[in-house]
Structure 1
Amino acid sequence: MLIHAEDEELATWPLPWLHMVRKLIEQRLQARFMPPGNATRMRLEGRVLHISELIAVREGPLEGTILAHILAHLDPDGSGLIPGGEDLPDAESGSLNEIRWAPGAWEGILTHGFGISSDEETAAAMSGLISRNILRGFRAEDFDALYGLARSKEFIFSYIDVLSTVSSSHALSGAGIRQLGRRLVREGQHREPVKLGIALLGLIGDNADRELLLTLGRHEEFTLYCAIAISNVEPPDSRDKVLLSMAKSVEGWGRVHAVERLEGSTNPEVQERMLSDGYRNIVGSEYTAYIVATTGKPAEALANPDVTLHLLDAAAEILGALSNDAGPPVQRMDDYLEGPLALERFITHVEQHGPRLSHFTATEDIAVFLRREQNWEAGKDSRWTISIREEFASRCERINQHPGWAALAEKGLISANNTEFYKAERIARALGLDTYPAHWRRVQSYPCDSSWFALLQEVDEHRLPAVLAYARQSLPLGELGSGPDDKDAQSDRFRAHHALDTIVTGLAKFPGEGWDLVETCLRSPVIRNRNMAINTLEAWTPTHWGPNVLTALLRAHAAEPDDKLRQRLDSLIK
């Protein structure tokens, strides 16, 4: 009788009763042979799924799971995570000899130019264990075996093969796939099994898990998988708006992945938002510029003679990103069919409005791109004629010769806003203005900030003594040189260590100068610091070493815990 209780009645039962009923149904599924597609089997599997959902809602996420961690770190403003949210519970404090990827960056790099090789052996084993779990009623040993395999492998290499096998299997019920996906997502304490769970939820054609996917997608390690799942299961009339919501909640690789799945959207709200600021991300606007240009249709928007400055600034960033030759391997201006029309309208508006910080970078990049002959294959697009390219390039160059740029650059160089400052710095460099005083002010205001790198690009032998004196005064050298270790320097508390290795790297072009800072770097608990110290000493060559360098190297060699670094010290000493 318990097994046959109505769904409405089940919702009122205490948790222990729900657990007992679920166990009874699972035991019946395991005890009786019922072939796939059997009506009784499908009804019982559906009942297990419903009871599991009631239990999950009542109990909430299990402590220590990825889901619980993300829920505890959701930013109340609806965008991303609060500090500490990026550090997933399964993160290990590994050696800095190994590359530490930002959330979502590994998948981002693989899916943008490097390609993904299939791990067919793992995919076959994983698919078999998925089938085993569903067909045998989710026995503990089967789930543990699947979880262990998923945890030990990077799912991105098995993704396509696993989903292809599972989706084509007529033996697996949708209810079973969904139950397994939800369990992996809700109970997973490691990222790879959670990714597998998200992928399974994306197979079953139901948008009931929308909020769960949007929540997990707030962490950029999972945004790609959640965006694909939503693309698969969300109804067409709501899909783009849900993906737009996901894109707005992240800012790095997650936004890139979400925006890519909005390509070709005809939803006016989505098009407007993409053009307004959907292209922006902290990875690089080059990754999204082409999609935004073809979907957001800036050429049409720029047809308005009373275009807003916000839209004009957005168009500058999009068209500038399409013209950035130094960016990643993505589609560029010469691939953009409406490029000539968009440029004509953009350049005309800029000519009428006068200098703005965001416009200089765009017009400079556009002019350089148009004049670079290797960007233009013969006959690729007849609309990009030599005369059109020459006209647009010349007009951009004339814009950048406006006498008002110098004053605008000088004003931007005292701005505390990083975006404004670096746009102004680029203008100043193009005009031949000295940016050293501006970088010197920023370093003195924020001694552990990244401005050290830019400052050291401007330093000469006359300015160097003051810079080194300030480094000694402002950085906690005793703490930075506390002795070799294998520290993870990815968090903000290692900002001073990053500043030190930037300074020491800059000293490579000043043989013999700042040896005390190099020695401090050599004694740092952070491996990257010690590597930078060795790089600088190699650049100096022994002819510029002072009398204490060899002694310090021998001491460092004796204390060095890292095998690869000890080998580098060996080579340096010899």
Structure 2
Amino acid sequence: MNIFSIFKKDQDSTDEHTSPVLPWENRPSIFGVLKSNLDENHDPIQQEMTLPDEDRMHGEGSQLQWAAGARDGVLSYHTNDDNLNQKATEMAWLVKAIAENNHLKDLTLLYDILMRDDVLHYLDATIEKILTLSVRVQPYLHNYARWLAFESPDRGAVKFGIALLGLIGDKEDLENICVIGSHDEFTLFAEVAIVQMSDNPEGTLWRLAKKVHGWGRIHIVRRLLHTKDEGIKQWLMREGFRNTVMNEYLAYQCAVAGNLRAELMYKDIDDVTLHAAGDIIQALINPGPMEGIDDYDDGAVVIHQYLSHLTYRANTLSQYLLLQDLSKFLQDEKADWDARKDYGWSEDFRADLLIDIHTILAKPHWKEVLHAAINEGNPSQMWDIAKVADFLQVDTWDWCWSRLQEFPTDEASWYLVMKRMTAERLPMVLTFAEQNIPLSQIATGASKELGFHKNFLIHRCLDCILLKLGDFPEYAQNGFEFVKTGLLSPVIRNRNNAVKVLERWGKENWLMGTKEILSQAAYIEPNEDVGYKMLDLLEQ
């Protein structure tokens, strides 16, 4: 049976010339978009690809948006049993009706529910109720599940389709499910289906885990933690813990599963293992949402062994910064070191580690490492360069200024330049800003925008300027146009920071007409907190 035939049977008596456009029509399928994003090795070309239903889900504004797969993680911990059971029952009976009759009204009712994208909230309960209803797979349900998963333009429908396919268990669907699972938004659902369908679920999940880097990787790695496969264990410790959400989510689990302690006991370890060990330790000593150093029985030994390897091999900016963080960790007076003694953290042991750390930090080659990184020009090292330069008291103004001139609307470059601002540099920088930041495109009127959307990049650049501009009241004449633009920006943070600049300048440095402009801004201000700040400033 052709997949699309499920929508052609039993259309009641509706006139095809007057029937409304169905909710799934005239939009591209998510599966098709994701498949076109795979290279010859079936790896995603563009990571964290925007899904074709994004505008319908979030609109085109600057609203806070869930990272791919994050919303389902939250929903899995916050449910209401009464509402859940009611929704699950409704869903299950709709699925049964579709499986038996394939009526358009049932298809549309179910799809309208799925478009809300809260599938995970009630999925398990729905599947359980479907099983109790003895729903038939043929002649309609399997094709319908395939259509939802592989032809639907909406993420909620795709997720439910994957779940139904996992329940049906036809191995012919497995390859396409892996295609969808290569996007973090769908990995959790693909993972469950793979476990139900694959002859080698662990190997299939491992291959998929390498393709995802956000919540999808977090979900899969947690399922692989108890593996007996030595290759997977090595991967977990060397690479699997890394993700774009927070390494803290997986660092402890992967250190244990991959036996990081045993790996560091070898006299000679490769650079990949050394780098991974550093990243795991960095995550363990930072407070996070999951287990940390206080949960890790091998923590003291692992850090000691890591430092022993680093004594003669410390040569990256990330290692320098980790050494600084370890020094801070070992000298934390608020920590309960008495409780940590049972895990090897004696006072003498910590003193020895601090000596090792400070010996490495005192080596003369760090400035050479810093300058080599600057010359390399790797954008991913920008923040490490800035931090290490601050520790080493190296002036990086020329590098920051040069980078800004190369990328004049790069938010990070503006931040670094303004952080290093002096009175002598400010006129030149403000002139550059006037020439490269289209202020008229920012001053479009006050609104409630948060400014996180990609369309507000220049607004975030203005923010970087405003955050420092208040330190230079002597240049109020030069900087007033930026303040005025900020007051007229749709982004709340721009207007708030513009008010702060005026406050720090002091009224004695305001230009003529400033009070009137601020009064008008306060009159139309849509954000209550910012409006009060404007009025308070006027009354001072």
The match for 1:342 is 302
CA contact (8 A) 1:214 1:246 kept: yes
8 Å Cα contact 1:97-1:527 kept in structure 2? no
Match among 64, 68, 75 for residue 99 of structure 1: 64
Q: How does 1:120-199 map to 2 (within 5 A)?
A: 120-135=82-97, 136-152=100-116, 154-166=118-130, 169=132, 171-173=134-136, 181-199=145-163
For 1:475, the equivalent position in structure 2 comes to 437
- 2:467 corresponds in structure 1 to 505
Residue equivalent to 2:377: 416
Residue in structure 2 matched with residue 432 of structure 1 by the alignment:
393
Give the whole-Å Cα distance in 1 for the aligned partners of 2:517 and 2:41.
52
Q: 1:154 to 1:398 in 2, by over 3 A?
A: same
- Structure 1 contact 126–146 (Cα < 8 Å) conserved: no
Q: Deviations over 1:244-297 (max 9, x none)?
A: 222222233333333333223222222233333333333332222222212222
Aligned to 1:357: 317
Shift of 1:350: 0.8
The separation in 2 between residues aligned to 1:252 and 1:84, in whole angstroms, is 8
Conservation of the 8 A alpha-carbon contact between 1:263 and 1:292: yes
AA matched with 1:154? D
2: CA distance, partners of 1:400 / 1:292? 28
Corresponding position of 2:185: 221
Task: Indicate how the Cα distance of structure 1 residues 484 and 380 shifts in structure 2: closer, same or farther if over 3 A, else same.
Answer: closer
Please give the alpha-carbon distance, in whole angstroms, between the structure 1 residues aligned to 2:6 and 2:214.
Answer: 44
Q: Percent identity?
A: 27
| Paired position in structure 2 for 1:321 | 283
1:251/1:280 contact within 8 Å kept: yes
Residue among 394, 402, 417 paired with 2:363: 402
Match of 1:413, SS state, is helix
Determine the C-alpha separation between the residues in 1 that align with 2:489 and 2:433. Answer: 16
2:404 maps to 443
Check whether the contact 1:264–1:295 (CA below 8 A) recurs between aligned residues. Answer: yes
Write the distance in 1 (CA, Å) between the matches of 2:148 and 2:113: 13
Q: Please give the TM-score of this superposition, normalised by the length of structure 2.
A: 0.81
Deviations 1:117-150 (A, max 9, x none): 4364155224322233225434322222122123
Alignment-mate amino acid for residue 294 of structure 1: V
Superposed counterparts of 1:9-88, under 5 Å: 19=5, 64-76=28-40, 78-82=42-46, 85-88=49-52
Residue in 2 aligned with 1:4?
none
Paired residues of 2:237 and 2:255 also in contact (CA < 8 A): yes
| One of 417, 422, 427 as aligned partner of 1:455 | 417
1:566 is displaced (CA, Å) by 7.7
| Partner of residue 210, structure 2 | 248
How big is the alpha-carbon RMSD for the aligned residues of Structure 1 and Structure 2?
A: 3.8
Specify the alignment match of 1:495 in structure 2.
457
CA distance in 1, matches of 2:63, 2:311: 49
Number of residue pairs aligned between Structure 1 and Structure 2: 515
Query: How far 1:242 sits from its partner (Å)?
Result: 1.9
Task: Note the alpha carbon deviations across 1:13-69, whole angstroms, 9 max, x for none.
Answer: xx59x9499959x99xxxxxxxxxxxxxxxxxxxxxxxxxxxxxxxxx995222233
* Residue deviations 1:178-236 (CA, integer Å, cap 9, x gap): 5554332234322223223333334445554322222112322222332343345434x
Task: State the AA in 2 paired with 1:348.
Answer: S
Q: 1:20 to 1:490 in 2, by over 3 A?
A: closer
For the structure 1 residues 524 and 22, does the alpha-carbon distance in structure 2 shift closer, same or farther, using more than 3 Å as the test?
Answer: closer
Within 2, Cα distance between the matches of 1:132 and 1:431? 66
- CA–CA distance in 1 between the matches of 2:507 and 2:124? 54
Label 1:174 to 1:430 Cα distance change in 2 as closer, same or farther (>3 A).
farther
Shift of 1:529: 4.2
Distance 1:159 1:518 in 2: 51
Alignment partners' CA distance in 2, 1:570 and 1:277: 50
1:186-335 maps to which residues of 2 (within 5 A)? 186-205=150-169, 207-235=171-199, 238-325=200-287, 328-335=288-295
Q: Distance in 1 between matches of 2:331 and 2:529?
A: 48
Structure 1 window deviating more from structure 2 (350-359 vs 487-496): it is: 487-496
CA contact (8 A) 2:69 2:186 kept: yes
For 1:3, the equivalent position in structure 2 comes to none
Deviation at 1:412, TM superposition (A): 1.9
Corresponding position of 2:21: none
Distance 1:494 1:97 in 2: 8
In 2, distance between residues paired with 1:531 and 1:150? Answer: 39
Tell me, yes or no, if structure 1 residue 89 matches structure 2 residue 53: yes
Taking the aligned partners of 2:279 and 2:511, their CA distance within structure 1 comes to: 49
Distance, in Å, in 1 between the alignment partners of 2:78 and 2:46 is 32
SS at structure 2 position matched to 1:152: coil
Is the contact between residue 61 and residue 449 of structure 2 (CA under 8 Å) also seen in structure 1? yes
Question: Residues 571 and 407 (structure 1 numbering): CA distance in 2 closer, same or farther, change over 3 Å?
Answer: closer
Equivalent AA in structure 2 for residue 65 of structure 1 = S
Tell me, in whole angstroms, the C-alpha distance in 2 between the residues paired with 1:216 and 1:20. 22
Amino acid at match of 2:134: A
Unaligned runs of 5+ residues in structure 1 are: 1-9, 28-60
User: 1:81-110 CA distances to partner (integer Å, 9 max, x unpaired)?
Assistant: 548941423424637563123323434566
Structure 1 residue 472: Cα displacement: 1.7
Native 8 Å contact 2:418 2:465 kept in 1: yes
**Contact 1:199–1:225, Cα closer than 8 Å, also in 2:** yes
Q: Output the amino acid matched with 2:318.
A: S
Label 1:211 to 1:527 Cα distance change in 2 as closer, same or farther (>3 A): farther
Gaps of 5+ in 2: 13-24
> Structure 1: which amino acid aligns with 2:291?
Q
Question: Does the 8 Å contact 1:81/1:219 carry over to 2?
Answer: no
Alpha-carbon distance between aligned partners in 2 of 1:381 and 1:22, rounded to the nearest angstrom: 71
The structure 2 residue matched to 1:547, chosen from 512, 519, 524, is 512
Counterpart CA distance in 2 for 1:21 and 1:146 is: 13
Normalised to the residue count of structure 1, the TM-score between the two structures is 0.77
